[in-house]
Structure 1
Amino acid sequence: MQNRKATFSSAASAMLLLGAVSCGSPQEAEMGNTITIQEANQRLESYIQQAKSALPASAGLVLRGQSKEAPCDDPSDKGAKGRLVADRSYQLTGVAAKDISEYFDTLRTWSQNNNYQVLQEKQNPQYLWLEKRDDGFRLALDSNESGELYLNGSSPCVWRNGTPEPTS
């Protein structure tokens, strides 16, 4: 049970990291209108499913954590307060620990063909952090010492209804 807690904690930490840093650049924050949080959740889920489809057909997803409307409060964002971010953390099942490096290579190749850029890559344990060039959504493939894989994702910061909230 202790190992399971550590695993979930690792996935939750990755999810929080994704949400905290995906709120976008100051230029994006000044844009005004965004997609809605509902659209952000739908698009995020679609991108996660697309990334999963690049992996072996045996791969499954088990939801480990999600925030459908988390506050976007990253201080480096310099954007307006009141925006929201969507994020998810899935454990990949049905994948072999011995093939982890191959899964990372496969997802990296898929990302290059699908308009993503690599933001960060690490070894031991392996980690690949991607951002979709045209809309700022982020995905990460994360491994741990136990041979488990996680596919995490987050949206950029958006307004609940797509437009800035009225100030009181």
Structure 2
Amino acid sequence: MKATITEQQARDKVEQYIQGALSALPAAAELKPFTRNRSECTDPTDKGPQGRFEISATYEITGLDPAHFPENFTAVIQWWESHEFKVLTDSRPTDQYVFARNTGDAFDMSIKANDLGKFYVGATSPCVWPNGTPEPQALEAEEPEQQIAAPPEPEPEPARKPRRAPVDDEDFAQTDWTDGGTSY
């Protein structure tokens, strides 16, 4: 397992990237905190050990004219491209959303706007160890003392038996359906 930056370094870098995106916007733009998260890395595609965390923050950008949101998107995307970010998702014009990843350090950023005139910018770190180095329990989990057996193969389900015998069309037509017969 390799070391990472610390949580605090990840938090600082998230803030630096958000400030950088803000610098691409008009001078009237201001940051208003929206969310800050520390989430455990549980994505199975990560294939990494547990005990690491993603650090993220999202800010609403106030002071922008919604009529100029397309130009604001372009300005942030240009800032990203000049700072090693690659756009991975651009949902415009259907949705006002763009997502990018930094090719150097794997930090993610996104910008989103909505019909209510709100504009958001967010950044998320890759998975990091709280102190930058693997935790002792993660090191222990990486080197199991004995091999773990593969889970048993599930037994095939038995074929279902019908609850009742199929109805023969001939019998159906010959049945007396009047109440004069047997009552149940």
| TM-score bin (small chain) | 0.7 to 0.9
Q: Distance in 2 between matches of 1:43 and 1:109?
A: 19
Q: Distance in 2 between matches of 1:131 and 1:142?
A: 15
Q: Residue 111 of structure 1 is aligned with which of 62, 77, 80?
A: 80
How many residues end up aligned between the 2 structures? 137
Q: Residue 141 of structure 1 is aligned with which of 91, 108, 111?
A: 111
Q: Distance in 2 between matches of 1:165 and 1:55?
A: 40
Tell me, yes or no, if structure 1 residue 38 matches structure 2 residue 8. Answer: yes
The secondary structure found in structure 1 opposite 2:19 is helix
CA offset digits 1:72-116 (Å, max 9, x no partner): 111221111110110011101000000010111111111111111
Runs of 4+ with deviation above 6 angstroms: none
Q: Residue 123 of structure 2 is aligned with which of 153, 156, 161?
A: 153
Q: TM-score, normalised by structure 1?
A: 0.78
Q: Distance in 2 between matches of 1:89 and 1:47?
A: 11
Q: TM-score, normalised by structure 2?
A: 0.72
| Equivalent pair of 2:80/2:86 in contact (CA under 8 Å) | yes
**What's the offset of the Cα at 1:147?**
2.1
Q: Distance in 1 between matches of 2:79 and 2:17?
A: 12
Q: Distance in 2 between matches of 1:148 and 1:111?
A: 20
Name the one with the larger helix percent.
1
Corresponding residue of 1:62: 32
CA offset digits 1:23-59 (Å, max 9, x no partner): xxxxxxx5x1100001000111011101110111110
Corresponding residue of 2:50: 81
Tell me, yes or no, if structure 1 residue 48 matches structure 2 residue 27. Answer: no
Corresponding residue of 2:100: 130
Q: Distance in 2 between matches of 1:141 and 1:128?
A: 5
* Structure with more relative contact order (C-alpha pairs < 8 Å, separation 6 or more): 1
Gap runs ≥5 in structure 2: 141-184
Q: Which has the larger radius of gyration?
A: 2
Gap runs ≥5 in structure 1: 1-29
Paired AA for residue 154 in structure 1: T
Q: Distance in 1 between matches of 2:62 and 2:90?
A: 22
Q: Distance in 2 between matches of 1:105 and 1:127?
A: 12
Q: Distance in 2 between matches of 1:125 and 1:62?
A: 22
| Equivalent pair of 1:125/1:145 in contact (CA under 8 Å) | no
Over the matched positions of the two proteins, sequence identity in percent amounts to 37
Q: Distance in 2 between matches of 1:47 and 1:106?
A: 14
| Equivalent pair of 2:20/2:79 in contact (CA under 8 Å) | no
**What's the offset of the Cα at 1:122?**
0.6
